[in-house]
Amino acid sequence: MHITVIGTGYVGLVTGTCFTEMGNHVTCVDTDEAKLTRLQNGIIPIYEPGLEPMVESAMANGLLRFTTDLADGLQRAEYVFIAVGTPPGEDGSADLQYVLAAARSIGQHLQQYAVIVDKSTVPVGTAELVRQTIAEELAARGADIEFDVVSNPEFLKEGAAVNDFMRPDRVVIGTESERARERMAALYAPYVRASDRLIFMGTRDAEMTKYAANAMLATRISFMNEIANLCDQLEVDVENVRKGIGSDSRIGYAFLYPGCGYGGSCFPKDVKALVHLSKQQSFMPALLEAVEERNEKQKHVLFEKISRYFGGDLSGRRFGIWGLAFKPETDDMREAPSIVLINALIAAGAIVAAYDPVATETAAREFPAEWLEDGRLTINKYQYDVLKDADALVLVTEWKRFRQPDFGAVKELLRQPLIFDGRNQYDPDRLRERGFTYFGIGRRNAVLS
């Protein structure tokens, strides 16, 4: 099959590359010539385990190519995936300018029937806008070309996106066209051979499903963070509470891990967009607003614990931070809790040394250059270097390599054996036995005055 993917960001590149694994011919189209040049030279713009060798193999076998010319990319296209960004506006709404620009370009260049697939996360009703936009451009050309528009939202976890695509929990397809339904079923058949995980519904239903899924996961995280903060006040260990409620089959353990807040390109943006969409319908989304508010406050919890421990004066204090990406197995720092923490620490006069296994370059772009130049912030290449003469270790991202560190070395390098654990990775009792003072999120912490 011949597939065109518009957009070579996270979703577009993973989607296009994974389709080549089943022998499909994929053309990825993007307006960023510099990015395409890097891709053609084998330089992948994102960190995603397993993706780079797949891209190299697909290019070497003639199954994957990149171009800035959409007209060329559409010549043999049977499927056209729109996988461009939908950044949040100031009011929280999803910005559809890139989606509709892609739709206009499709209408201007489409030569034969194709299934147009909305892969981007978009508000309810976007498929109808895309259909209308393409139809208007075709009419302006005087071209009588049939097409269908379907919604096929992505459910890819950063850090596990390749596996999620190749072995999906489900593939949601929204369409009112039987012809498009048959085409989409044929396209995804190799990915759902073990069981029938294709779920068909209307386009509006599919668009809402994506937002509802992310909002539910964000709600579970914010709920558990709220419980953890209460556990802090009641001298209760939230880890025992988590096990107790997670063992209930109606609840389960997934996304019930308290911490210093969620980030990334999906949850924050999608919750805000759903709040905005609700208010457009004169519906007040009280629960969703509470989820968002709790998360924003949660990103400040680590700083508040640190500040209280040092009596509110952090001038000249040094902190070693493990983890900058918003989650493990990615270099994505969008909406990352580490940004909030580091900004607050430096604003309070502290000095920060940080380490992340893959987000070093991202971090260098995220923070002001003057901080890196004058030494207020250093981004180290080695995990233990950030701890030298630091007043505390602060764990922000739960990378596997942080789970069982050499606590003897940690203790020796720190000025004092003090750990602030933003992801509850460590056993408080064992650390106290080793002479550490420990603060987690709802973990029977040392007393803060």
* Cβ-Cβ contacts under 8 Å for 200 (sequence gap 6 or more): 173, 174, 175, 181
Ordered DSSP codes for 40-75: HTT--SS--TTHHHHHHHHHHTTSEEEES-HHHHTT
Write phi, then psi, for 169 (nearest 5 degrees). -65, -40
Residue 168 region by backbone torsions, left for phi larger than 0, else alpha for psi between -120 and 50, else beta: beta
Q: Edge to edge, what strands does the sheet with 351-355 contain?
A: 377-379, 351-355, 318-322, 392-395, 418-421, 437-439
Are 395 and 259 contacting, i.e. CB atoms less than 8 angstroms apart? no
Q: Is position 266 annotated as part of the catalytic site?
A: yes
Angstrom distances, CA of residue 62 to CA of 35, 52, 65, 343, 350? 19, 16, 7, 46, 53
Are 397 and 356 contacting, i.e. CB atoms less than 8 angstroms apart? yes
Angstrom distances, CA of residue 291 to CA of 90, 214, 294? 19, 12, 5
d(CA 214, CA 204): 16
Angstrom distances, CA of residue 442 to CA of 66, 92, 293, 445? 49, 31, 19, 7
d(CA 295, CA 261): 5
- Counting Cβ atoms within 10 Å, is residue 133 exposed (0-12), middle (13-18) or buried (19+)? buried
Are 104 and 137 contacting, i.e. CB atoms less than 8 angstroms apart? yes
Q: Residue 297: what residue type?
A: K
In degrees, to the nearest 5, what angle opens at C-alpha 335 toward C-alphas 282 and 226?
Answer: 70
d(CA 122, CA 53): 30
Task: Identify which of 311, 249, 270 has the alpha carbon closest to the alpha carbon of residue 121.
Answer: 270
d(CA 397, CA 28): 32
Helices 337-347 and 301-309: angle between axes, nearest 10 degrees: 30
Q: Which of 18, 28, 260, 266 is catalytic?
A: 266
CB atoms within 10 A of CB 59: 17
d(CA 175, CA 153): 12
Positions marked active-site: 266
